[in-house]
């Protein structure tokens, strides 16, 4: 009994130490964001601000606000489009067994495992010739296409959990391909859309490579704006940390509210059927 109590104490002690280490960057970012230009100094970096000042957050927001608009305008349509395609693909791959389904799934899935540098040069050329270079619609197209592999994977996993029996009954009744999708599959898909949607929104919001390759000011998403602010020698640390905090807030809020679904998207990336 005593041994057990000691073990419990050790387990909780280790967990609490680990949690503090994981949250340490958050502590630094938040307290630095709440310091004004006058009170930010390297020596007192770890100290609590003597009084909370919103000057840094206001300064960061003034620089980032237009880019926030860009990122929302990009991430929401791109998420909806790739989730919709993923749902259609997942349905076709799981509920209608046909020859070559696995080959087609492999062809789709490998898109998840390419370094995007290997498509970047042609991508820029094609976007340019379509008139979509340096535009948010161009980025929406790019993220929709490269989002297809993961959303297809998520919906394929999700739909394979729906028993085939209920479809068989509908097929015998003469319900067709789209009828089954519309009346049976779609009403059961809410959780799948939440998982795929959250995952895609986070990926698109956080993406940097496509954003920095395909856009110039004023069409840049927040991640590029953040790197520009951080790279500038004239911007104080408190404004940089405030910018980092603001850029992270949308995805963090989604994670805090719908964390369970985020983890399911995370595990889908493990590619286990």
Partner 1 sequence: MAQEVLPVKAPKTSKPLRRRHRTGDSWMPILTLAPSIGLLAIFVYGFIGWSGYVSFTNWNSFIPTLTWAGFRNYVTVLTSFRFQSDLRNIFFFTILFILGVLVVGLILALLIDQKIRAESLFRSIFIFPMAISFVVTGVIWSWLLNPTTGVNLILKSLGIPGPQWFLSTRFVPTIHLGQLSIGIPIALLAVVLAAVWQMSGFSMAVYLGGLRAIPEELKEAARMDGASAWRTFWSVIFPNLKGTTATIVVVEAAASLKVFGLIYAMTGAGQDFTTDMPNLNMFQTTFSGDAFAQGAAIAMLLLLLMAAFTVPYVLSVLRGER
118 is an interface residue for partner 1 by CB under 8 A: yes
Q: Does 132 bind partner 1 (CB under 8 A)?
A: no
Cα 52 from Cα 242, distance rounded (Å): 13
83 in contact with partner 1 (CB under 8 A):
no
Tokens of 134: 């340096």
CB atoms within 10 A of CB 32: 22
- The answer to whether 27 contacts partner 1 (rule: CB under 8 A) is no
Residue 2 binds partner 1 (CB under 8 A): no
| Least CB distance to partner 1 at residue 238 (A) | 11
Residue 175 structure tokens: 């319900």
- Single out the segment in contact with partner 1 by CB under 8 A; choices: 56-64, 72-80, 99-107, 129-137: 99-107
Among 6, 62, 114, 257, binds partner 1 (CB under 8 A): 114
Read out DSSP for 160-213? TTS-THHHHHHHHTT--HHHHIIIIIGGG-HHHHHHHHHHHHHHHHH--HHHHH
Q: Does 11 bind partner 1 (CB under 8 A)?
A: yes
Residue of 138, 241, 242, 261 that binds partner 1 (CB under 8 A): 241
Which residue number, 25 or 218, has a Cβ lying nearer to partner 1? 25
210 near partner 1, rule: CB under 8 A: no
Nearer to partner 1, 54 or 96 (CB): 96
Rounded CA gap, 197 and 66, in Å?
Answer: 24
Among 6, 9, 37, 46, binds partner 1 (CB under 8 A): 46
Residue among 61, 60, 35 at smallest CA distance from 48: 35
Q: Are 146 and 116 in contact (CB under 8 A)?
A: yes
193 binds partner 1 (CB under 8 A): no
């Amino acid at each position: 009994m005593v041994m057990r109590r000691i073990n419990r104490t050790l387990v909780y002690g280790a967990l609490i130490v680990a949690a503090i280490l994981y949250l340490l960057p958050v502590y630094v970012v938040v307290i630095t964001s709440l310091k004004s230009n006058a009170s930010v100094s390297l020596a007192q970096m770890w100290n609590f601000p003597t009084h909370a000042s919103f000057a840094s957050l206001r300064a960061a927001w003034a620089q980032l606000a237009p880019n926030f608009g860009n990122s929302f305008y990009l991430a929401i349509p791109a998420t909806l489009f790739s989730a919709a395609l993923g749902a259609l693909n997942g349905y076709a791959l799981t509920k209608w067994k046909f020859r070559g389904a696995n080959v087609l799934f492999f062809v789709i899935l490998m898109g998840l495992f390419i370094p995007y540098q290997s498509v970047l040069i042609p991508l820029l050329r094609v976007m340019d010739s379509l008139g979509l270079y340096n535009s948010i619609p161009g980025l929406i197209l790019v993220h929709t296409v490269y989002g297809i592999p993961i959303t297809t994977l998520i919906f394929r996993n999700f739909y394979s959990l729906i028993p085939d029996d209920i479809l068989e009954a509908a097929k015998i009744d003469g319900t067709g391909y789209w009828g089954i999708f519309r009346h049976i599959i779609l009403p059961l898909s809410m959780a799948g859309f939440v998982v795929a949607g959250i995952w895609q929104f986070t990926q698109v919001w956080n993406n940097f490579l496509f954003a920095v390759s395909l856009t110039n000011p004023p069409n840049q998403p927040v991640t590029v704006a953040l790197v520009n602010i951080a790279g500038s020698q004239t911007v104080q640390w408190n404004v940089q940390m405030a910018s980092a905090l603001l850029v992270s807030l949308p995805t963090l809020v989604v994670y805090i509210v719908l964390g369970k679904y985020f983890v399911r998207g995370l595990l889908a990336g493990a590619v286990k059927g």
